[in-house]
């Protein structure tokens, strides 16, 4: 456990990862001496770490490891015991902690909130952090992406009483976390390279909920069938918990009564609060994420002796000022009246909600989407769901499936097979295996007034930058 941080030396293997860089910042803020290593490839976190004054090695080498120099070693979950630096520390008797173990150890020292769900957790955590910052909560926040409202960093620190963090279900990583409240956005099939089936996923989330202490709180999205089912099953074994719902199907003050999405406006009302809440980011899923974050912040405010209703004007202003996170409804730029955006959405339900939101919010624009599916296992197991989730796109461009080093796919689905199935449902689909192959088509097809969106967890996002560069000339 990280019971003492101030003055201790920490070495982070894979320090440029979004979560690892955020953890480095939190440790630094608590008085730790932080260094580490990562690949020579440049990431946006290089600037973050350099701005913080954290020095680190560009590239891995066992000679970098000095076991007697460092009190604690933390490794990214991407690196196993065979990694040269990890192995070197182990051989010297300095066993590295995993990132999730370190995050969990930190969480045990706070009144911690874990934001979890198959999708929506990054944005919801960022929204909760933006509210916490605006309402001056005695809190720290860690998000799995950079947040515009945090100065394009992944953390915000405004105190040490509360800690809110995005927590991940993959490989049950969130079971290292020590929550006093959990915000659950969604539960459905995903990560089937690890989970056996949907029931296995439910069991993971139920185990996470069971980590809540007596009297703890589960905040859940009543509009999500999986989250609602998880709540019902949890309530049978944990009647001692407090349950707070949000969404159109919710009961209580966080029930969404009215919502509207028109050109450039995304608004909703809540049962327990007067007036409208407004967002500058499109999508009904954004309304749900905002309602969930309001419920969490209200709970924390009450622990601090206040409430959301007492801070309503500031809360509404904070939501309206929210500018999203990196790779979540991120505006890359605009050139020649072509708006270029990027979004990490890679699960069929998240894709469907995201695209419908864009189509309503930017109703005057033609929606042109480049999508690269992430992992063969997800693409194969959810193929029928993928086939019907792109209906809001006016034009869809597909690429080869982006494989993951963690999967060992033995099935027969290919990028072309993925394209052929979706082409049966969508009137305008084009297949360019490599992203560079799409450039001539885009050069001819895109026109002023279009919204060009790169979508998915693959590596097609450079197409957006290319579009901006091409139309500038």
Q: What is the pLDDT of residues 294-307, one digit of tens each?
A: 999 999 999 999 99
Q: What are phi and psi for residue 40, nearest 5 degrees?
A: -80, -15
| Any domain includes 3 | no
The whole-number average pLDDT for the span 91-107 is 93
Tens-digit pLDDT profile for residues 129-138: 999 999 999 9
Measuring CA to CA, which residue among 23, 25, 28 is closest to residue 5? 28
379: containing domain = 330-472
The encoded tokens of residue 49 equal 């770490």
What span, in angstroms and rounded, lies between the C-alpha atoms of 127 and 319? 7
Same domain? For 124 and 77 the reply is no
What span, in angstroms and rounded, lies between the C-alpha atoms of 203 and 41? 38
pLDDT greater at residue 97 or residue 324: 97
Measuring CA to CA, which residue among 432, 449, 438, 383 is closest to residue 412? 383
Contact 293, 128 (CB under 8 A): yes
The whole-number average pLDDT for the span 359-371 is 91
Q: What share of the chain is helix, strand, coil (3-state, %, to 5)?
A: 40, 25, 40
Using a 10 angstrom Cβ sphere, with 0-12 exposed, 13-18 middle and 19 or more buried, the burial of residue 152 is: middle
Least confident piece of the model among 281-290, 312-321, 387-396: 281-290
What span, in angstroms and rounded, lies between the C-alpha atoms of 386 and 349? 8
The encoded tokens of residue 399 equal 């690429």
Measuring CA to CA, which residue among 59, 135, 57 is closest to residue 305? 135
Tell me how crowded residue 132 is: count the other CB atoms within 10 A of its CB.
Answer: 26
Same domain? For 285 and 171 the reply is yes
Find residue 333's DSSP bridge partners: 340
Residue indicated by tokens 């890359």: 332
Q: Going by C-beta distance under 8 Å and a sequence separation of 6 or more, which residues neighbour residue 280?
A: 266, 320, 321, 322, 323
Same domain? For 168 and 252 the reply is yes
| Any domain includes 451 | yes
% of the chain at pLDDT higher than 90: 69
Measuring CA to CA, which residue among 164, 116, 123 is closest to residue 140? 164
- The CATH number assigned to the domain holding 272 equals 3.40.1190.10
| Any domain includes 256 | yes
Same domain? For 291 and 351 the reply is no
Strand arrangement of the beta sheet that strand 265-270 belongs to: 256-262, 265-270, 277-279
- The CATH number assigned to the domain holding 452 equals 3.90.190.20
Cα first-last separation, the chain: 55
Q: Which of 51, 79, 101 is the last residue of a domain?
A: 101
Q: In the chain, how many domains are there?
A: 3
Same domain? For 187 and 313 the reply is yes
Same domain? For 93 and 137 the reply is no
Same domain? For 54 and 161 the reply is no
Q: Quote the mean pLDDT of the chain.
A: 91
Is residue 406 very low, low, confident or very high in pLDDT (cuts 50, 70, 90)?
Answer: low
| Any domain includes 4 | no
Q: Which of 66, 101, 136 is the last residue of a domain?
A: 101
Tens-digit pLDDT profile for residues 217-249: 999 999 999 999 999 999 999 999 999 999 999
Q: What angle do CA 67, 73, 77 make, to 5 degrees?
A: 135
Same domain? For 144 and 201 the reply is yes
Same domain? For 306 and 437 the reply is no
Same domain? For 358 and 252 the reply is no
Q: Going by C-beta distance under 8 Å and a sequence separation of 6 or more, which residues neighbour residue 323?
A: 148, 149, 280, 281
Is residue 354 very low, low, confident or very high in pLDDT (cuts 50, 70, 90)?
Answer: confident
pLDDT greater at residue 77 or residue 167: 167
Q: Which of 80, 101, 122 is the last residue of a domain?
A: 101
Residue indicated by tokens 């001819």: 444
Tens-digit pLDDT profile for residues 31-70: 999 999 999 988 778 888 998 999 999 999 998 888 888 9
pLDDT greater at residue 44 or residue 341: 341
The encoded tokens of residue 434 equal 């490599």
- The CATH number assigned to the domain holding 16 equals 3.40.50.720
């Amino acid at each position: 456990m990280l019971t003492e941080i101030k003055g201790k030396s920490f070495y982070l293997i894979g320090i440029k990862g979004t979560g690892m860089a955020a953890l480095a910042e939190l440790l630094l803020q608590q008085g730790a001496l932080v260094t580490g290593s990562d690949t020579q490839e440049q990431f946006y976190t290089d600037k973050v770490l350099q701005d913080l004054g954290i020095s680190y090695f560009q590239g891995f080498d066992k000679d970098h490891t000095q076991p007697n120099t460092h009190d604690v070693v933390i490794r990214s979950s991407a690196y196993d015991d065979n990694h040269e630096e990890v192995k070197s520390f182990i051989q010297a008797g300095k066993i590295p902690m995993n990132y999730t173990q370190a995050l969990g150890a930190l969480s045990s020292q706070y009144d911690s909130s874990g934001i979890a769900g198959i999708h929506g957790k990054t944005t919801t955590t960022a929204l909760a952090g933006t509210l916490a910052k605006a309402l001056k909560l005695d809190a720290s926040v860690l998000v799995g992406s950079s947040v515009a409202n945090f100065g394009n960093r992944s953390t915000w620190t405004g105190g040490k009483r509360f800690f809110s963090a995005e927590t991940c279900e993959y490989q049950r990583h969130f079971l290292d976390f020590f929550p006093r409240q959990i915000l659950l956005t969604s539960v459905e099939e995903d990560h089937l390279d690890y989970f056996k089936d949907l029931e296995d996923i439910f069991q993971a989330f139920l185990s996470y909920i069971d980590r809540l202490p007596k009297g703890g709180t589960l905040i859940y999205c009543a509009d999500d069938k999986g989250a609602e089912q998880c709540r019902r099953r949890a309530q049978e074994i944990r009647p001692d918990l407090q349950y707070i719902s949000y969404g159109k199907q919710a009961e209580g003050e966080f029930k969404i009564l009215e919502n509207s999405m028109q050109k450039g406006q995304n608004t909703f009302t809540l049962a327990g609060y007067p007036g409208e809440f407004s967002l500058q980011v499109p999508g009904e899923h954004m309304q749900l994420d905002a309602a969930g974050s309001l419920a969490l912040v209200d709970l924390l405010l009450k622990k601090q002796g206040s409430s959301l209703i007492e801070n309503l004007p500031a809360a509404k202003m904070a939501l309206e000022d929210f500018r999203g996170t990196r790779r979540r409804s991120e505006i890359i730029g605009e050139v020649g009246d072509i708006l270029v955006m990027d979004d990490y959405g890679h699960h069929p339900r998240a894709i469907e909600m995201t695209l419908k939101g864009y189509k309503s919010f930017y109703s005057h624009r033609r929606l042109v989407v480049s999508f690269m599916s992430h992992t063969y296992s997800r693409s194969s197991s959810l193929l029928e769901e993928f086939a019907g989730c792109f209906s809001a796109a006016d034009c869809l461009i597909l690429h080869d499936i982006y494989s993951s080093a963690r999967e060992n796919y033995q099935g027969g689905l290919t990028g072309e097979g993925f394209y052929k199935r979706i082409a049966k449902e969508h009137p305008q689909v084009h297949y360019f295996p490599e992203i560079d192959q799409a450039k001539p088509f885009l050069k001819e097809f895109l026109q002023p007034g279009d919204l060009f969106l790169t979508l998915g967890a693959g590596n097609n996002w450079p197409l957006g930058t290319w579009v901006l560069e091409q139309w500038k000339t």
